[in-house]
Amino acid sequence: MRHFIHLAYKGTNYRGWQRQLSVSSVQQTIEEKIALLLRREPYIHGCGRTDAGVHASQFYAHIDMSAEEAEKLRRLNMVLPEDISIKEIFQVGDKMSAQLDAVSRTYQYNIHFKKNPFLAEVSSLYDFKKYDLDLMKKGFYKIGEATDFYAYCKTVKNYRTTDCKIFDLSFEEDKKAHTLKLTIKANRFLRGMIRYLVSDLLDLGSGRLKFAVWEAQLMSQKERVEKLAAHPQGLDLIKVSY
C-alpha cells in the first residue's frame, strides 16, 4: 500500500533533499531511521529536490508499505533529528506519486537587511547596499509575464522543456523588521531558477542591472554565460498542492 509522508525540514545541515554519495541529505537521514523501525531498506520518493541549505516548510514523499509498517512509523519523529519533522503519514492510491501528481509548488525567498542572529539560518542577509525596493517590486512582478525560464535553469540539458506557468506572485516588505518576502507559486520550477531570479532582482535593486536588461534576460531563451545564485538559506518550499 502506498503512503504519503508529510514532513518539514530545515536544510542548514544537509546537502539538499536527494540522497548523494559521501554527504548528508534529508532523504538519506529519513530512510536510515525508517530502516531502524521497519528492519528493511526502504526507498522514499520525494515531491522534488531542494539544494544544499534550502528549507522545506512543507514537503511530501511517498513510500510503499503495509498497514502494520505504517503503524510502526508513528514513532519516526522520536528517532529523527530536531531539524526534520514528520507532520502526518496517510494512505493514498497505489499509483499516486508525490512528485508527478503535484499540481503546484510555492516557494518563498526570505531576505533581511539588518544583521539578525535569529534569522541567519532561515533568511539571507543582504545589508551591504541600499536597495531600490520599488524597482525590485516592479521587476519581480514582471516574472509573471515570462513563460520560458531557459536563462534561469542550472541544468538545461536535464529538461525536455524549460516552460513554467507562474500562478501567483507576492512581494511583502516589512519596513519595521527590515525584511522582504518574495513568494512564487508555479506548476513547476527548474533547478536553480528561483535563486537566479532573486540574484538578478538584487542586482536590479542595487543599480548593477538596468531594468531594460532585466526584461531582456527574463524573456531570453538563450543560456547565460554568467549566472549568480542568491544565498540558499533564504529559500523555503512552503506549499505543495495536489
Domains and CATH numbers, the chain: 2-91 (3.30.70.580), 104-241 (3.30.70.660)
The band of 159, judged by pLDDT with boundaries at 50, 70 and 90, is confident
At 100, the amino acid letter reads L
As a whole number of angstroms, the distance between CA 4 and CA 55 comes to 19
203-217 pLDDT, tens digit per residue, is 999 999 999 999 999
In a 10 Å sphere around its CB, with 0-12 CB exposed, 13-18 middle and 19+ buried, how is residue 114 labelled?
exposed
Q: Which of 51, 200, 203, 236 is catalytic?
A: 51
Alpha helix locations (H) across 127-224? 133-142, 193-206, 211-219
Angstrom CA distances, 203 to 88, 142, 174, 231, 232, stand at 41, 15, 20, 13, 17
Nearest to 242 by CA among 58, 114, 117: 58
Evaluate if residue 123 carries a pLDDT over 80. yes
In whole angstroms, give the CA distance from residue 99 to residue 45: 8
Active site (annotated) includes residue 51: yes
β partners of residue 109: 182, 235
What pLDDT, on the 0 to 100 scale, is given for residue 224?
A: 78
| H-helix or E-strand spanning residue 63 | strand 55-64
Cell readout for 70 is 505504517
Q: Report yes or no: 166 and 197 within 8 Å, Cβ to Cβ.
A: no
Beta strands in 66-150 (DSSP E): 84-91, 104-112, 124-125
Quick check: 237 and 107 in contact, CB under 8 A? Answer: yes
Please determine, for residue 85, whether its predicted confidence score (pLDDT) is greater than 90: yes
Cell of 222: 538563450
Whether pLDDT at 227 is above 90: no
Of 57-61, 80-84, 129-133, 223-227, the range with the lowest mean pLDDT is: 223-227
In the prediction, which pLDDT does 50 show?
95
CA-derived radius of gyration, the chain: 19
Instruction: pLDDT band for 105, please (50, 70, 90 cuts).
Output: very high
pLDDT digits (tens, 9 = 90+) for 2-16: 999 999 999 999 999
| Direct distance between the N- and C-terminal alpha carbons of the chain, in angstroms, rounded to an integer | 19
Closest residue by Cα to residue 196 from 162, 173, 168: 162
